[in-house]
Structure 1
C-alpha cells in the first residue's frame, strides 16, 4: 500500500537540509512503496507543532522543542540525536559590568525562546542560583539580538555562535560546552513511528549517510547549504560551520535521556512547562542499528 512520509525541514538543521536535496530518502522510501514530501518550516522550533497537527511525521530540532511538545501532550517520540555541539554561549558587550551569570539578575537577556538556547540559558541560571523570573527574557532573532546588544539596548545575548559583525565588541560569560550538550534531536509522530518502524530506520540511516557525506565533502556540502538554507551564511561560512561541529547520529541512549531530563526538570521548576514529564515516555524503542561514528 502506498504511503506518504512528510518531513519538516528548516535552515537550522543542515542534516535535514542536505538530505532534502540528495534523494537518498526518496530512494529508500520508494523501495517500500512510499513517497516523500518535504515541508519547509520558517522557524525550526515550530517543527513540533507541525508534528502535533500531523502536517509532518518526522522532523528535527535542538533539545528544547521535543521537551515542550511532550509536556503539551503532542504525540511525539524521539529516535535519534547527534553528538554534542559545543557552539555558542552567552555574550555581553566588552564594556559591560556583567561579569558572571549571577550578574544577569534583573537584566534583559535576548534569545530565541523555545529553541535549544532556552535550555542553555535556563541551565546557566540554575547553576548560578537564579531562576527565569530573575531576568527579563526577550524573544529576538540572532540579527535583532546582535544589533540590540551592540547598541547597548539589552544586557546579554544567548547565541548559537553567529556573532559575525561586531564580534570584536562582544565577550562570552558562559560557553555552551560547559552547560549543555546541545545535540540535534530527531523525532517522529508516535502513531506513524509505530505503524512504520522500517521507515523510521530508513530515515535514520539516510541521515547517517548524509552526515557522513557532509563530513567527507565539506566544500560541496557548504555549496548546497548556502543555496538552500536561505540564511545569511555564505559558502565559506558554511564550510567553517561544517568543520566546527560533529557529524553523524546515534539512537537515543541513557546519556541523552539523562541530559534531556535535567533540562525538563529545570524548565518545570522555572514555570516553562505546564507539567512535569518523564523523558523516557517519549523515547522510540525499536532498534535502528546505526554505526555510532559517521
Structure 2
C-alpha cells in the first residue's frame, strides 16, 4: 500500500515547534530579573490588639515592602504565648510579646529570635485590689488568692515583686486565669488581687471598684519584644529592618500626639477614649535594636523561672539573639 509521507513530516514539524516553545519558557524563567522572581516572599504577622494593629490599619508597611516583592498576611491573637506557639509550628514569621512568654517558648525548643525591643513600660502593669480591700501593702498578699495569666509578663512581675518585699512565690495562692476570666473572678470577689497589664488595667480602674496596690516601677522593666524565627531572620533581615522602622515611626509619632494615638487605639481596642487616655499616659515610647544588655535582662527572667521550676531546663537567652547582632555589642 502506498502511504504518503506528509503526515510524518507534519508530526516532525509539530515536535520541533513544541520543543522550541519549551526552550523559550525555560529561557524566560532563567533570565527573569531576580526582583521579579522574588515576588513570592511573604511576611506573616501575628499581632495582638496594639501597635501592630495600628500599623496594619495604616497600610504603610505594605507600601514599604512592595518594592521588595513582599506581601503581608495578618493574624490576630489574644495573647503572646499563643503567638509564640504559632511561630513554633511555622504559622507566622513575626509578632509582638511581653518579656515572659519568650522564655517559656525558648525552653520548649522554639526557633525564636528577638528582633527588637521597646523602651521599658513598668507603669503599664500592676496589682489590683478592691477599693474596700484590707490589703494595703505587698506583704498583705501573703496567703491571699492572686489571679494572673500564666507565662505572661505579669507572671514574672509578681515573682520579683514578692521577692523584693520579703515574700516567696509560694506565699500566695495563684489562680492562673486569662484576662477575661480573671476580671470576672476579681469582680465577684473570688480572688483577692489581680495582676494585669494595659488596657485591662485602666479599664478595671475606670469601670470597677478597683485600685492599684502597686505597679512594676522599680521592680521589673516590662519591655515588649518583637520576635521572628531564626530561619526567617537569616533570609529576610531586610524585611524585618523595615518592619521595625515602621513600628518605631508610629511609636515616636504617638509620643508627640498622645490624644490622636489614644483615639486610634480606642477604635482598635473597642474601649472608650478616656480609658485609653489613661493607658497612653503610662506608656513609654520608642522601639530599640536588641542588644546584649537587653538579652541580659531576659536572662535574669529565664534564670528566675528555672529556679522556681517554672521551665524544665536552663536556657541561654543569647541563643535567641538576632543574626545581625554583632558579637560583643553592648
The interval holding the TM-score normalised by the smaller chain is: 0.7 to 0.9
- Aligned mate of 2:295, from 243, 249, 257: 257
- Provide the rounded CA distance (Å) in 2 between the counterparts of 1:234 and 1:93: 22
- Give yes or no for the alignment of 1:215 onto 2:255: yes
- Provide the rounded CA distance (Å) in 2 between the counterparts of 1:235 and 1:99: 30
User: Counterpart of 2:126?
Assistant: 89
- Give yes or no for the alignment of 1:49 onto 2:47: no
Deviation track 1:49-103 (CA, whole Å, cap 9, x = no partner) reads 1111111100001111111111111000002111111223223334444444344
- Aligned mate of 1:27, from 51, 63, 66: 63
Specify whether residues 79 and 99 from structure 1 end up closer, same or farther in structure 2 by C-alpha distance, changes over 3 A only. same
DSSP 3-state at the match of 2:245? helix
**Structure 1 residues not aligned, in runs of 5+:** 289-294
Specify whether residues 130 and 32 from structure 1 end up closer, same or farther in structure 2 by C-alpha distance, changes over 3 A only. same
- Provide the rounded CA distance (Å) in 1 between the counterparts of 2:227 and 2:218: 26
How do residues 228-243 of structure 1 correspond to structure 2 at under 5 angstroms? Answer: 228-229=268-269, 231=270, 233-243=271-281
| TM-score, normalization by structure 2 | 0.78
Deviation track 1:111-145 (CA, whole Å, cap 9, x = no partner) reads 12121111101112233444433332112244543
User: Counterpart of 1:38?
Assistant: 74
| TM-score, normalization by structure 1 | 0.87
Q: 4+ residue runs of structure 1 moved beyond 4 angstroms?
A: 165-169
- Whether the 8 Å CA contact 2:120–2:222 is kept in 1: the answer is yes
- Whether the 8 Å CA contact 1:123–1:263 is kept in 2: the answer is no
User: Counterpart of 2:321?
Assistant: 283
Q: More helix by proportion, 1 or 2?
A: 2
DSSP 3-state at the match of 1:180? coil
- Whether the 8 Å CA contact 2:97–2:225 is kept in 1: the answer is yes
DSSP 3-state at the match of 1:137? strand
Q: CA RMSD in A?
A: 2.3
Q: Which one has a bigger Cα radius of gyration?
A: 2
- Provide the rounded CA distance (Å) in 1 between the counterparts of 2:294 and 2:283: 18
User: Counterpart of 2:192?
Assistant: 155
DSSP 3-state at the match of 1:192? helix
Compute the displacement of 1:189 (Å).
Answer: 1.0
User: Counterpart of 2:160?
Assistant: 123
- Aligned mate of 1:199, from 233, 239, 254: 239
Specify whether residues 169 and 207 from structure 1 end up closer, same or farther in structure 2 by C-alpha distance, changes over 3 A only. closer
**Structure 2 residues not aligned, in runs of 5+:** 1-37
Q: How many residues are paired up? A: 283
Specify whether residues 279 and 40 from structure 1 end up closer, same or farther in structure 2 by C-alpha distance, changes over 3 A only. same
- Whether the 8 Å CA contact 1:222–1:242 is kept in 2: the answer is yes
User: Counterpart of 2:96?
Assistant: 60
User: Counterpart of 2:22?
Assistant: none
User: Counterpart of 2:211?
Assistant: 170
Compute the displacement of 1:210 (Å).
Answer: 1.8
Compute the displacement of 1:249 (Å).
Answer: 0.4
DSSP 3-state at the match of 1:221? helix
Deviates more, 1:182-191 or 1:44-53: 44-53
- Give yes or no for the alignment of 1:136 onto 2:173: yes
User: Counterpart of 1:292?
Assistant: none
DSSP 3-state at the match of 1:5? strand
- Give yes or no for the alignment of 1:227 onto 2:267: yes
